[in-house]
Amino acid sequence: QLQLRESGPGLVKPWETLSLTCNVSGVSVSSRSYYWGWMRQSPGKGLDWIGVIYYKGDTFYNPTLKRRVTIFVDKSKNQFFLNLTSVTAADSGVYFCTRPWDIGSWFDPWGQGTLVTVSS
């Protein structure tokens, strides 16, 4: 059974880079036709899509974040990662890793989420 778990620093200083890890268990991160994605939820707000990566390495990012986002995979560790540069308080929230079943389709499952606060 596929399970996802996020990890990373809970506190990031303004203008620094937020780096998160999603540990994948139950399936290989390089499984054929699999996508992997990152979402976030600001306090009291809805969900926002950050970006996805295809098993072949192709990436698709939310245009509003594209200049600051990088998603990549480490097959040897069965993990995928999120880097978000030049963070501000607006980037604070709970970050989730998830599996989109295709571009434009649904997300299942989700990790439990990790809270990130941007503050000096």
Partner 1 sequence: QSALTQPPSVSATPGQKVTVSCSGSTSNIGKNYVSWYQQLPEVAPKLLIYDNIKRPSGIPDRFSGSKSGTSATLGITGLQIGDEGTYHCATWDTSLSVWVFGEGTRLTVL
Q: Could you say whether residue 48 binds partner 1 (CB under 8 A)?
A: yes
Minimum CB distance to partner 1, residue 94 (Å)? 9
Q: Could you say whether residue 2 binds partner 1 (CB under 8 A)?
A: no
Q: Could you say whether residue 110 binds partner 1 (CB under 8 A)?
A: yes
Please give, one letter per residue, the 3-state secondary structure of the chain: CCEEEEECCCEECCCCCEEEEEEEECCCCCCCCCEEEEEEECCCCCEEEEEEEECCCCEEECCCCCCCEEEEEECCCCEEEEEECCCCHHHCEEEEEEEECCCCCCEEEECCCEEEEECC
Tokens representing residue 20 in the block: 């998160």
Minimum CB distance to partner 1, residue 15 (Å)? 25
Say which amino acid occupies 79.
Q
Which residue's CB is nearer to partner 1, number 30 or number 59? 59
The one segment of 20-28, 75-83, 85-93, 96-104 that binds partner 1 by CB under 8 A: 96-104
Site for partner 1 in 64-93 (CB under 8 A): none
Minimum CB distance to partner 1, residue 16 (Å)? 26
CA pair distance 120, 7, nearest whole angstrom: 20
Q: Could you say whether residue 107 binds partner 1 (CB under 8 A)?
A: yes
Instruction: Provide the binding-site residues for partner 1, judged by CB under 8 A.
Output: 45-49, 62-63, 96, 100-101, 103-113
